[in-house]
A and B are shown apart, each in its own frame.
Chain A
Amino acid sequence: MITVYYIPDGPKNLKALFNDLDLNNLDHYNLEVHDASGNVLATTPEYTYDKPCEEDLVLHFVNALGPVDSIKCNLTTIVHENKSDTIQVPLKYPLDKTLHGVNRINLKANDTYSGIILATEDQLPLVKELLDTAALWIESADSYIPIVLVDGKYPVLNDVPDRYEYQIPIVFTLSHDKLTIRA
Chain B
Amino acid sequence: MSLSITTQPAANSLNAAYRPIVLQVGLTAAMPVVYCDIYINGIFYKSLSSTAPGLTIRFDLQIESQEYLTRFLAANGGSAILAASPLAISIFCKVRGSSTDTNGFVLVDSPIPIQATGGTPAVAGGGVESNTFYVINSTLQNEDLQDLAEHLNLFKSGTWDTNCWPLSHRVAGYRINSSDYFPIVTTDKIPVCVTGHFTMKDGSTITKSTCDSRPSCPIVTGIVITSTDNGNGTQSIQISWNTPDPLLTSISIQYRVSGSGAAWTSVSGSVTSPRTITVPVNLYDIRLLVQGNCQDTFSTVYSNIGPCLLASMASQSLPDGMSGEDYSASLPISGTGPFTLDSVAGVPAWLTTFEISGSNLVLAGAPGVDDVGDVNITGNILNCSSGSYPINLAFSIQEAAPLNVTLQLLSSPNSLKAFVEGGVPPYTYEFNCVPTGPCNSYSISNPSGSTSASEIDSNISYVLYSGTTYAFTCTIIDSVGNSATSNTVTTAACLVPWTYIDMHDGSVKQLKEIEIGMMLRDNNKVLMKKEHEVAELYIINSGLLITSRGHVNIMADGTTKQTYNLKKGEELFGHILIEDIQLIFGKFKVIDLATSNGTYFANGVLTHNKFACP
Contact = CB atoms under 8 A, between A and B. Distances in A.
A32 B184 contact: no
A126 interface: yes
B79 A8 contact: yes
Interface in A1-45: 1-18, 21-22, 25-36, 38-45
B77 A32 contact: no
B177 A49 contact: yes
Interface stretch (B130-138, B512-520, B572-580): B130-138
A63 to B, nearest CB: 6
Given A6-B181, A139-B179, A45 B190 contact: no
Interface string B527-546: 00000000000000000000
A66 B174 contact: no
Instruction: Among B156, B189, B208, find the residue whose CB has the most chain A CB atoms closer than 10 A.
Output: B189
A27 B199 contact: yes
A5 B186 contact: yes
A6 B183 contact: yes
Contacts of A2: 14, 88-90, 134, 136, 185-187
A154 to B, nearest CB: 16
Interface stretch (B161-169, B460-468, B588-596): B161-169
Interface string B187-222: 111111111111111100010101000000000000
Q: How large is the interface on B (under 10, 10 to 19, 20 to 34, 35 or more residues)?
A: 35 or more
Contacts of A32: 158-159, 194-197
A56 interface: yes
B531 to A, nearest CB: 77
A50 B72 contact: no
Contact of B177 (A51, A60, A144): A51
A141 to B, nearest CB: 8
Contacts of B17: 66
A16 to B, nearest CB: 4
A34 B14 CA distance: 22
B171 A25 contact: no
Contact of A46 (B139, B173, B183): B173
A62 B192 CA distance: 24
B71 interface: yes
Contacts of A64: 138-139, 169
Contact of B167 (A31, A66, A120): A66
Interface stretch (A68-76, A106-114, A171-179): A68-76
A35 B192 contact: yes
A126 B87 CA distance: 19
Contacts of B11: none
Nearest to B205: A29
Interface string A115-138: 000101011011001000001010
A68 B190 contact: no
A34 to B, nearest CB: 4
B53 to A, nearest CB: 37
Given A5-B186, A16-B78, A29-B197, A68 B73 contact: yes
A78 B158 CA distance: 41
B161 A41 contact: yes
B266 interface: yes
Contacts of A48: 173-176
A5 to B, nearest CB: 5
Contacts of B90: 1-2
A123 B182 contact: no
Q: 7 closest Cβ contacts across the A-B interface?
A: A43-B158, A10-B180, A66-B137, A67-B183, A16-B79, A6-B181, A1-B266
Interface of B: 14, 17, 69, 71-74, 76-85, 87-90, 134, 136-139, 152, 156-161, 164, 166-202, 206, 208, 210, 252, 254, 263-264, 266, 289, 295
11 contacts: A2-B89, A3-B186, A4-B87, A6-B72, A25-B202, A26-B199, A27-B199, A33-B81, A39-B161, A52-B178, A118-B175
